[in-house]
Structure 1
Amino acid sequence: MSRPKLSEALRTADLIHDQAALSTAISRIGQEIGQALNGQSAVFLTIMQGGLIFAGQLATAIDADLEFDYVHASRFRGTTEGGELKWMRRPDTALKDRIVLLVDDILDEGHTLQAIRKWCADQGASKVLLAVLCEKRHGRTVPDLAADFVGVEVPDRYVFGYGMDFNEQGRNLPAIYAL
Structure 2
Amino acid sequence: MSVDLKHIRQVLDEADCLYTGEQIEDAIKKMGRQITAELADSNPLIYCVMNGGLVLTGKLLTEMPFPLEASYVHATRYRHQLTGDELDWKVRPAQDMTGRTVLILDDILDEGHTLDAIADFCKGQGASRVLTAVLINKIHNRKARPDMKADFSGLDIGDRYIFGYGLDYQGYWRNANGIFALKGH
Residue 134 (1) aligns with residue 141 (2) = no
- RMSD across aligned positions (CA): 1.8
After TM superposition, the score normalised by the length of structure 2 is 0.88
Contact 2:20 2:177 in 1 (8 A): yes
Work out which of the residue numbers 116, 139, 149 in structure 2 matches 1:114: 116
What are the Cα deviations for residues 98-151 of structure 1, in whole angstroms up to 9, with x where unaligned?
Answer: 000000000000000011000000000000110000010101111143101010
1:38: Cα distance to partner? Answer: 4.3
Q: Does the C-alpha gap of structure 1 residues 75 and 3 become closer, same or farther in structure 2, counting only changes over 3 Å?
A: farther
Residue 178 (1) aligns with residue 181 (2) = yes
After the TM superposition, which segments of 4 or more aligned residues of structure 1 sit over 4 Å from their partners?
1-4
Q: Distance in 2 between matches of 1:83 and 1:50?
A: 19
Identical pairs, percent: 44
Q: Distance in 2 between matches of 1:160 and 1:83?
A: 25
Q: Which has the larger radius of gyration?
A: 2
1:3: Cα distance to partner? Answer: 4.8
Residue 12 (1) aligns with residue 1 (2) = no
**Equivalent residue number for residue 79 of structure 1:** none
SS at match of 1:176: strand
**Equivalent residue number for residue 152 of structure 1:** 155
Residue 86 (1) aligns with residue 88 (2) = yes
After TM superposition, the score normalised by the length of structure 1 is 0.91
Residue 167 (1) aligns with residue 165 (2) = no
More off after superposition, 59-68 vs 159-168: 59-68
1:25: Cα distance to partner? Answer: 0.3
Contact 1:40 1:64 in 2 (8 A): no
Unaligned runs of 5+ in 1: 77-81
Q: Does the C-alpha gap of structure 1 residues 83 and 177 become closer, same or farther in structure 2, counting only changes over 3 Å?
A: farther
Q: Distance in 2 between matches of 1:75 and 1:9?
A: 27
Task: Count residues in correspondence.
Answer: 174
Residue 66 (1) aligns with residue 60 (2) = no
- Give the letter aligned to residue 152 of structure 1: L
Unaligned runs of 5+ in 2: 79-83
Q: Distance in 2 between matches of 1:10 and 1:161?
A: 9
SS at match of 2:172: coil
Contact 1:74 1:85 in 2 (8 A): yes
Q: Distance in 2 between matches of 1:40 and 1:83?
A: 30
